[in-house]
């Protein structure tokens, strides 16, 4: 199912609807959240229906709808002979408000603090014209120059206007105040702003708003089908060949419609120095050093921009994989993995392919590979690749196994009980070649220093890896060839891990199979949940059922090496939590218990849906608890929001009130930290 349809229909549960409503109420107030909740619960509706559902006046409705449309939280569609407008909720955009802090941190780490400042303004303004954005920044720059308060202005002069009550990810105004001034100079001139916008548009973090941006996917699909039928098939669609041609044209039109916001990026590549200069700037110093020769081509002031959450999700997915690699192998290997992921996803615009659009477009999920030399060229030169890998003598390494090639992605049958999923054979080469056909020599005896990240990262293809501290360290200035060979060892570690972070798909080339990889990560999250709920024995039983399929209750104790009574108790406990279920298969028409087979099975997709909904429920509880503490400390919080108090709370408040304020801040940070951890789980289960 396409991601757009998934988030709009199948994944809408009561807990998700309540979560989205709470987030909108926290940021934009009660009026927009009331309208949004009515649309979520009742479906698409026009103004008369909304007035009936919400008991609001037309003026209040128009005001609330304007706010929701400004921040892309609604779809609207004009249809019928009377040209009536109907509105539909966009729960995906409402949920993305929770990730504001994560996106800002990602932009700061990849593109610099000046890009973070622009993104923060875009989050606060919603979709906005470039002319309006420049006007707001011009007023901010003029004010900073007039007050001689530095080139980046004061922290209280954010273009985002404090964003109502604050971000729901924990970056509330009293925590975030002054962050821009401490991080470095912000936007210093309109030319600087234009350059940052060009960089973000080129990275597709910002996208152009078109007419289709406000239409839901079903509406766009129905419009496209009608347009194609009228234009190319006016005489009707008859026969299998005509139907196939019709579906192909519909897919092409939908692809072109979705690709329209990327035209500005291609124009910038043609007119403004291209990708090389931008990439050099992004990989260079991120201290906001701005030079006149970094200016991009001037942008049309009438162009309307907004945040592209789909591309942001791709970058957040890379960060999630780097975290998983760091936990499984080590920090050094994770940094090498991050470089590979950035190369692979440079042109990937979304995490999941739409089977109706992307296959027709031909630009998505065709296994892309990166050469070893490309990874090395983009690797951080300050990274010490000689750390994080244990030492082994050359004669203790099985070269054929360590450097195996897997030309096709493998999806094990154990993953979610896929039936008939057999492992594909892979080629074993005695020698490995790079892209130039050159044989890699065996690594030197002292392959690396002891692991610096605290993880005993060992390659499964090695035999008896020894951590010998007395071995000679790598040369003080290793050659490029030796450093590249050592980097390849990190890539081989990623290939050999049980999660299969990387696939060595050809001689000297590497790729990542995202779908099988995240299936394994989702399985790991499900295993963690089962172990927390029912213990190690329950996890063993669930894995047996997932591997073998449906099993008789008499066969299961033998395979699990457990007593029958223990298995029955544990299975009933797991059934109560929704991890397993039972199917009754009668042997005859009498359906007596003695003549019936009772088969246990593990329904992983349903278990994952339950786990996802429980994550929504936990996030709702965290926000509810925070609201309770916020009401209890309303007087203190109202006082610290005053402009003359911000930043000097300790001096302005009495000790008992300051302690109360500090206690509230600690509770809020813990609650929002838990929400962000749950969001990582939601992203793994649903988005990535």
3-state secondary structure 658-670: HHHHHHHHHHHHH
Q: How many Cβ atoms are within 10 Å of 330's Cβ, its own excluded?
A: 23
Tokens of 662: 């500090």
- What sections of 203-299 are H helices per DSSP? 217-232, 240-259, 263-271, 274-283
Q: What is the pLDDT of residue 30?
A: 93
Paired with 600 in beta bridges are 551, 582
Residues near 617 by beta carbon (within 8 Å), at least 6 away in sequence: 15
What is residue 95's predicted lDDT score, i.e. its pLDDT?
Answer: 95
Which position has the higher pLDDT, 409 or 244? 244
Beta pairing, strands 581-586 & 74-79: unpaired
Share of the chain above pLDDT 90, in %: 39
Structure tokens at 683: 């992203």
Instruction: Return the higher-pLDDT residue of 354 and 401.
Output: 354
- For 174-224, the pLDDT digits (tens) are 334 334 444 444 788 888 999 999 999 999 999 999 888 899 888 898 988
Token digits of residue 178: 């002054």
Q: Of the candidates 40, 61, 60, 66, which has an alpha carbon nearest to the alpha carbon of residue 50? A: 61
Q: Is pLDDT above 70 for 68? A: yes
What element of type H or E holds 334?
Answer: helix 331-344
DSSP string covering 338-354:
HHHHHHHTSS---SS--
Give me the mean pLDDT over the 19-42 stretch. 93
Our CA angle for 22, 28, 31, nearest 5°, is 80
In angstroms, the first-to-last Cα distance of the chain is 14
Mean pLDDT, rounded, for 482-486: 90
Identify the pLDDT of residue 475.
52
> Does 621 score more than 70 pLDDT?
yes
What distance in Å separates the CA atoms of residue 488 and residue 459, rounded to the nearest whole number? Answer: 12
Burial 213-236 (b: 16+ CB within 10 A, else e): bbbbbebbbebbbeebeeeeeeee
Report residue 277's pLDDT band, with 50, 70 and 90 as the boundaries.
very low
pLDDT confidence of residue 459: 41
Residue 308 reports pLDDT greater than 80:
yes
The two three-digit tokens of residue 62, written as one number: 């128009």
Q: What is the sign of the dihedral through the CA atoms of 39, 42, 48 and 50?
A: negative
Angle at 79 between CA 257 and CA 70, to 5 degrees: 65
- Spatial separation of the C-alpha atoms in residues 688 and 686, rounded to whole Å: 6
CA–CA distance, 635 with 645 (Å, rounded to integer): 14
| Distance from the Cα of residue 664 to its chain's centroid | 30
Residue range 533-602 in CATH 2.40.240.10: no
Q: State the pLDDT confidence band at 532, using cuts at 50, 70 and 90.
A: very high
Considering the entire predicted model, what is its pTM?
0.80
**Pick from 498, 684, 677: which is nearest to 608 by CA?**
684
Phi, psi for residue 464 in degrees, rounded to 5: 65, 60
pLDDT of amino acid 628: 94
563 CB-contact burial (10 Å; exposed 0-12 / middle 13-18 / buried 19+): exposed
**What single DSSP character describes residue 388?**
S
Which residue bears the tokens 């392919």? 353
pLDDT score of 238? 83
Handedness of CA 505, 510, 516, 520 (dihedral sign): positive
- Model confidence pLDDT, tens digit, residues 386-445: 888 877 677 767 776 666 677 667 655 433 344 344 444 434 333 333 433 333 444 444
| Arithmetic mean of pLDDT over the chain | 79
Cα separation, 109 vs 286, whole angstroms: 8
**pLDDT surpassing 60 at residue 282:** no
pLDDT at 164: 40
Residue of 535, 446, 516 lying closest to 482 (CA atoms): 446
348: left (phi over 0), alpha (psi -120 to 50) or beta: beta
Supply the pLDDT for residue 337: 94
Please provide the DSSP assignment of 165-208 as one string: T--TTS--HHHHTTHHHHH-----SHHHHHHHHHHHHHTTSEEE
Longest dimension (CA), the chain: 92
Which among 321, 350, 366 has a CA at the least distance from the CA of 500?
321
Tokens 């609330």 — which residue? Answer: 64
Segment 99-124, tens digit of pLDDT: 999 999 999 999 988 999 999 999 99
Please check whether residue 308 is in contact with residue 206, taking contact to mean a CB–CB distance below 8 angstroms.
yes
Q: What are the E-state strand segments in 445-535? A: 503-506, 509-511
pLDDT at 457: 42
- Mean pLDDT comparison of 118-127, 132-141, 284-293, 456-465, highest-scoring range: 118-127
Decide: 440 and 433 in contact? Cβ < 8 Å.
Answer: yes
> In Å, how far from its chain's centre is CA 660?
36
**Does residue 627 have a pLDDT over 90?**
yes
pLDDT at position 272 = 61
- Would you tell me how many other CB atoms lie within 10 Å of the CB of residue 585? 10
CA quadruple 154, 160, 164, 169: dihedral sign: negative
User: What tokens were used for 349?
Assistant: 């615009």
Mean pLDDT of the 600-617 span: 92
Give the mean model confidence (pLDDT) for residues 627-631: 93
d(CA 255, CA 491): 35
Pick the CATH number of 3-89 from 3.30.70.20, 1.10.10.10, 3.90.550.10, 3.40.50.720: 1.10.10.10
Angle at CA 653, nearest 5°, toward 648 and 659?
105
């Amino acid at each position: 199912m396409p991601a757009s349809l998934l988030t709009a229909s199948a994944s809408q549960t009561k807990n998700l609807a309540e979560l989205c409503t709470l987030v909108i109420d926290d940021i934009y107030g009660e009026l927009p959240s009331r309208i949004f909740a009515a649309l979520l619960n009742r479906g698409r509706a026009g103004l008369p229906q909304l007035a009936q559902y919400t008991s609001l006046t037309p003026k209040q409705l128009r005001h609330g709808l304007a706010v929701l449309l400004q921040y892309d939280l609604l779809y609207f569609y004009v249809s019928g002979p009377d040209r009536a407008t109907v509105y539909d909720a966009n729960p995906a955009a409402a949920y993305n408000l929770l990730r504001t802090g994560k996106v800002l941190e990602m932009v700061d780490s990849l593109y610099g603090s000046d890009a973070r400042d622009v993104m923060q303004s875009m989050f606060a303004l919603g979709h906005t014209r470039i002319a309006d954005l420049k006007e707001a920044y011009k007023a901010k720059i003029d004010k900073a120059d007039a007050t001689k308060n530095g080139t980046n202005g004061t922290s209280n002069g954010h273009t985002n206007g404090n964003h109502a009550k604050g971000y729901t990810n924990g970056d509330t105004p009293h925590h975030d105040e002054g962050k821009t001034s401490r991080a470095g100079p912000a936007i210093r001139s309109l030319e600087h702003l234009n350059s940052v916008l060009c960089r973000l548009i080129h990275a597709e973090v910002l996208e152009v708003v078109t007419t289709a941006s406000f239409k839901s996917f079903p509406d766009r699909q129905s419009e496209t089908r009608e347009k194609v039928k009228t234009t190319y098939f006016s005489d009707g669609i008859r026969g299998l060949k005509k139907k196939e041609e019709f579906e192909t044209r519909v897919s092409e039109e939908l692809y072109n419609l979705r690709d329209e916001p990327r035209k500005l990026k291609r124009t910038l590549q043609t007119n403004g120095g291209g990708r090389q200069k931008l990439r050099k700037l992004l990989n260079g110093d991120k201290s906001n050093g701005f030079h006149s020769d970094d200016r991009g081509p001037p942008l049309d002031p009438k162009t309307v921009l907004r945040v592209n959450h789909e591309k942001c999700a791709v970058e957040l997915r890379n960060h999630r994989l780097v975290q998983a690699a760091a936990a499984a192998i080590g920090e050094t290997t994770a940094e090498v993995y991050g470089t590979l992921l950035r190369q692979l996803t440079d042109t990937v615009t979304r995490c999941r392919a739409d089977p109706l659009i992307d296959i027709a477009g031909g630009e998505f999920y065709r296994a892309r590979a990166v050469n070893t030399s490309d990874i090395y060229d983009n690797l951080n030169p300050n990274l010490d690749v000689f750390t994080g890998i244990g030492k082994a003598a050359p004669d203790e390494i099985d070269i054929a196994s360590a450097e195996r090639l897997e030309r096709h992605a493998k999806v094990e049958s154990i993953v979610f009980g896929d039936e008939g999923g057999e492992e594909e054979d892979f080629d074993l080469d005695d020698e490995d070649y790079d892209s130039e056909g050159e044989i890699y020599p065996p690594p030197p005896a002292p392959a690396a220093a002891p692991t610096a990240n605290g993880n005993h990262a060992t390659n499964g293809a090695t035999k008896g890896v020894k951590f010998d501290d007395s071995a000679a360290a790598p040369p003080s200035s290793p050659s490029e060839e030796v450093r590249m060979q050592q980097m390849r060892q990190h890539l081989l570690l990623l290939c050999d891990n049980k999660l299969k972070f990387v696939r060595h798909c050809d001689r000297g080339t590497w790729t990542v199979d995202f779908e099988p990889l995240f299936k394994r990560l989702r399985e790991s999250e499900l295993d963690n949940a089962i172990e927390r709920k029912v213990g190690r024995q329950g996890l063993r039983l669930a894995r047996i059922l997932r591997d073998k399929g449906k099993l008789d209750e008499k066969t299961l104790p033998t395979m699990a090496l457990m007593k029958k009574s223990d298995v029955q108790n544990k299975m009933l406990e797991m059934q109560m939590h929704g991890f397993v279920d039972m199917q009754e298969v009668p042997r005859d028409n009498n359906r007596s218990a003695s003549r019936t087979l009772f088969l246990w099975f593990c329904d992983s997709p349903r278990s994952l849906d339950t786990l996802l909904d429980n994550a929504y429920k936990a996030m709702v509880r965290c926000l509810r608890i925070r609201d309770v503490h916020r009401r209890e400390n309303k007087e203190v919080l109202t006082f610290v929001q005053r402009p003359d108090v911000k930043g000097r709370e300790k001096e302005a408040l009495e000790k008992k009130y300051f302690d109360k304020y500090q206690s509230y801040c600690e509770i809020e940070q813990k609650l929002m930290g838990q929400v962000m951890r749950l969001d990582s789980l939601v992203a793994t289960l649903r988005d990535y």
